[in-house]
Amino acid sequence: MTQTCVQLSYKREADGVLSGLGMDKVHRPVLLREAVHWLGCAPGKRIADVTVGLGGHAEAIVEASAPDGVLIGVDRDEDALAVARARLDPSRARLYRAEARELPHILDREGLPRVDGVLFDLGVSSLQLETPERGFAFQIDGPLDMRMDRRQDLTAAHLVNERSEHELAHILRAYGEERWAVAIAKAIVRARAARPLVKTRELVDVVRSAIPARARPVHPHPATRTFQALRIAVNREIEDLDASLEAALSCLTRGGRLVVITFHSLEDRIVKSVMRRWEGGCVCPPGLPICRCGRQRVARVLTSRPLTPAPVEVADNARSRSAKMRVAERVADTG
């Protein structure tokens, strides 16, 4: 089979898988053209997509680096990888169930010293959100789960039923920026004293009851921030980000690009400060005759302000409205 035939047959299989899941209508990769452009996709390039999800960005990357570019796809969610696997030609895309921060070990296994680009598209996929048994969504009833990697023990039910009121309030405030964090944490502790909260609908009811009617927003739904905060805590989305970005940088060739798409201000702040740290280089006090800190500039930030989707993309895909993209280019070895 020729390269084009192989790609077409994968495309047909992918269309079948995606429409079976209803994903063709709901999951649209955000800032797609921008990601492909800033990654510098071209024939022969090696690109890692460490949040490969359903393979939307990956498919475009594979296409833009045809005929001989290679994609390394990583995701911690086996269900998402199954969709990506059906969608991407295995002769050009190698997929791993792993954490983003494990990229250096994956490249070792592949015998690839470095890659030319790394993409992070953070947050949840539509597949995760739309599957009731995954427990990510407050709109549909399901178990209080929210794990991206279902091999891990910690679920949202563990957090809700076992963490102290103080810890719960902290999670809701830090990761959800929920102004009713204390009231919601109190209501959760009160409700679980009668019996453990196990379903998403039960948690939605508790959250609603904790927010005074006059302050309850119609939009966004009053449980939005609580669910977001619990999801971030269950999946260590904030705690692991710095280490994952460092791991990605260490895998880049000189001139290689790191492209990061975030959907949450806390994540964007971390990405911004990590990139600044890379760009900053020496942190010795001014006036020292020689550098003692040994830190050198390892990357150049290519986006002085984050890139955001054009109004037409936001109109077409509401999920894109909070997206921000930052790009850095490696300039030196990190040692």
Distance CA 22, CA 125 (A): 13
Stretch that binds ligand SAM, among 71-79, 177-185, 193-201, 323-331 (CB under 6 A): 71-79
Give the DSSP letter string of 158-169: HHHHHS-HHHHH
> Which is closer to ligand SAM, CB of 202 or CB of 313?
313
Kindly tell me the burial class for residue 252, based on how many C-beta atoms sit within 10 Å of its own C-beta (0-12, 13-18, 19 or more). Answer: buried
Work out the angle at residue 82's Cα, subtended by the Cα atoms of residues 64 and 158, and round it to the nearest 5 degrees.
120
Q: Does 256 bind ligand SAM (CB under 6 A)?
A: no
Alpha helices in 22-162 (DSSP H): 23-26, 32-38, 56-64, 78-87, 103-110, 126-130, 156-162
Q: Which residues contact 172 (CB under 8 A, 6 or more apart)?
A: 178, 181, 184, 185, 225, 226, 229
Q: Does 267 bind ligand SAM (CB under 6 A)?
A: no
When binding is defined by CB under 6 A, the residue of 21, 36, 75, 259 that contacts ligand SAM is 75
Whole-number minimum distance, CB 131 to ligand SAM, in Å?
12
For residue 89, the minimal CB distance to ligand SAM (Å) is 16
In the shown chain, the binding pattern of residues 35 to 54 toward ligand SAM, with x for contact by CB under 6 A and - for none, equals ----------------x-xx
By CB under 6 A, is residue 240 in contact with ligand SAM? yes
* Nearest residue to 147 via CA among 139, 159, 161: 159
Q: Binding residue for ligand SAM (CB under 6 A) from 7, 10, 117, 125?
A: 125
Q: Is 244 in the site for ligand SAM (CB under 6 A)?
A: yes
Q: Is 80 among the residues that bind ligand SAM (CB under 6 A)?
A: yes
Residues of this chain that bind ligand SAM (CB under 6 A): 29, 51, 53-57, 74-77, 80, 99-100, 121, 123-125, 148, 240, 244
